[in-house]
Structure 1
Amino acid sequence: MINTSSTEHGTNVFKMFTEDQIQEIFYATFDVMRTVGFKILHGDARKMLKKAGAIVKDDSVKVPEHIVRECLRQAPKGWTIFDRTGKRAMEVTGRKSYFGTSTAAPNTMDAYTGEVRETLLDDIGNGAKIADALSNIDFVMPFGSSQDVPGDACDIFEFPVVVSNTTKPIVFIGYSGRGVELVYEMAAAVAGGLDSLQERPFVMAYPEPIAPMVYPDHVIDRLFAAADLKMHHRGSRNLRHFQ
């Protein structure tokens, strides 16, 4: 049975499932994590999970329900993201949704000539400037993946271009744990120090696993870097992308 639509926090909500159906999906997820598990390629992460009670065999990790529930219990129920000037920008909690630009396209259509060509740092700067001027855009990611800088260091070239052209919150791609650290160092310099950045964060890292359940070394390194610095990473259903 499909429930009627409603509106919460200014966001349109259309419920496709009953509460019982949602609970069935919830418990099925626990079963998948317990019986199928994940492929964790990071040795230190496997050690941490084993110490917590997960079942580890080679790079396969099966996570019992009680571990997941404890993680959910300790996880924050939401947080506040600020803009570059220190003003509140996004309350990432509940059913609130925010919209922003997306990233990673190696090619772009030149805004002046219509030519499809490789994405350059200048394009990312122009994209950030446009996103900054659009009232319906809440956060900014680099508009594409720049091809005129070394591929494994795009993060440390792209962040200065974006932060120079927008005051809005920034979600950045990190290509390594060290890259994430360096971006946060730059963000801390903009914010007036790491303490100020942690108090009023305006940047979020964007680490993602390989769908559906594979976690490479470099992804976990990026997660660890953000966690060690007590910073947020983008993994929330509250953030939506336009590309």
Structure 2
Amino acid sequence: MAKPGLRFLSDEDVQAIHEAALLILRDTGVKAHHAEARRLLADAGATVDEHSRIARLPERLVMESIARTGKRYVLHGRDPHRTARFGYGDRVWMSSPGQYTWIDSHTGRRRGATVQDVRDAIRLGDALDHIHIVGAMGQPEEISEIGSDIFLMGELAKGTTKPTRCWVRNGRTAGAILEIYRAVAGGAQALQQRPMAEAFLEPISPLQLPEHGLDIVKAFAQAGQPVSIGPMAMTSATAPGT
């Protein structure tokens, strides 16, 4: 049975956006704040200006990369029967990896998140059938930002058997977080065969790729884990309002 849906763009609209994107990548380029990433882009055929850190990507490189990129993957939880499938037509729902402030349900006032909030939120996400990926929902004030992502990943590993998502701070903490996933999965090879982690690259709009974000992508890709990329644009500020 066909699934109902809404379509806002015609085939011609989609093609126009695609062609405009190719022109921007070719002529304007992207600023990559990562020396190794710029080197890899240059080796692949991009025109790289080291002074400005801008890489201009020819259409051939873009289209070949799209063709080689995986179109679907499955994230696995500690329980092998609890998964989240991407690219299969499934709707995947996730609780937030964590916000700094909450609105207290008892007082109605804004306050900082706590460790207990995080533990309660993880248990709630684990129990709700319509949540497929569990996040910590809070960034507790009691934990230093320097290692908060590692702490929260530990709480997620203990508190849910579903797939998980946490914000990753940098390449160093990415390594520690991947070690947690390897321990849960049963080793590096097991984690590659049944991915449990997903890197989330947050570009800086417009057209910049941050150094720490690319370090995280590198660590997760080397561990055989998928990567997703968000637009991260601010409406009417760094992107159009329509």
2:6 to 9, 14, 24: 14
Residue of structure 2 in register with 1:208 after alignment = 202
Q: Does 1:28 align with 2:55?
A: no
* Structure that is richer in strand per residue: 1
The higher-RCO structure (CA 8 Å, 6+ apart) is 1
Residue of structure 2 in register with 1:227 after alignment = 221
Tell me how far apart the structure 2 counterparts of residues 103 and 92 of structure 1 sit (CA, whole Å): 18
Report if the CA contact (8 A) 1:80-1:88 is conserved.
no
Tell me how far apart the structure 1 counterparts of residues 23 and 155 of structure 2 sit (CA, whole Å): 44
Distance 1:234 1:127, change over 3 A: farther
Q: Does 1:46 align with 2:43?
A: no
1:1-243 correspondence to structure 2 within 5 Å: 7-8=2-3, 12-57=4-49, 58=51, 59-87=53-81, 89-111=83-105, 114-235=108-229
Distance 1:191 1:94, change over 3 A: closer
Question: Which sections of structure 2, spanning at least 5 residues, go unmatched?
Answer: 232-242
Question: Which sections of structure 1, spanning at least 5 residues, go unmatched?
Answer: 1-5, 238-243
Overall identity of the aligned pairs, in %: 27
Q: Which residue identity is paired with 2:146?
A: D
Report if the CA contact (8 A) 1:121-1:158 is conserved.
no
Q: CA shift at 1:7, angstroms?
A: 4.7
Secondary structure of residue in 1 paired with 2:93: strand
Structure 1, residues 192-231: CA drift from partner, whole Å, max 9, x if none? 1121121112222223111231111111100100111111
Secondary structure of residue in 2 paired with 1:197: helix
Secondary structure of residue in 2 paired with 1:22: helix
TM-score by length of 2: 0.87
Q: CA shift at 1:236, angstroms?
A: 7.5
Distance 1:122 1:81, change over 3 A: same
Larger deviation: 200-209 or 38-47?
Answer: 200-209
Tell me how far apart the structure 2 counterparts of residues 181 and 39 of structure 1 sit (CA, whole Å): 25
Q: Which residue identity is paired with 2:61?
A: I
Size of the alignment, in residue pairs?
A: 229
Q: CA shift at 1:114, angstroms?
A: 4.7
Structure 1, residues 35-86: CA drift from partner, whole Å, max 9, x if none? 1111111111111111111111121111111101111111012112222112
Secondary structure of residue in 2 paired with 1:97: coil
Secondary structure of residue in 2 paired with 1:234: strand
Residue of structure 2 in register with 1:240 after alignment = none
Distance 1:94 1:37, change over 3 A: farther
Tell me how far apart the structure 2 counterparts of residues 146 and 34 of structure 1 sit (CA, whole Å): 43
TM-score by length of 1: 0.87
Tell me how far apart the structure 2 counterparts of residues 191 and 121 of structure 1 sit (CA, whole Å): 25
Larger deviation: 108-117 or 131-140?
Answer: 108-117
Residue of structure 2 in register with 1:3 after alignment = none
Report if the CA contact (8 A) 2:85-2:92 is conserved.
no
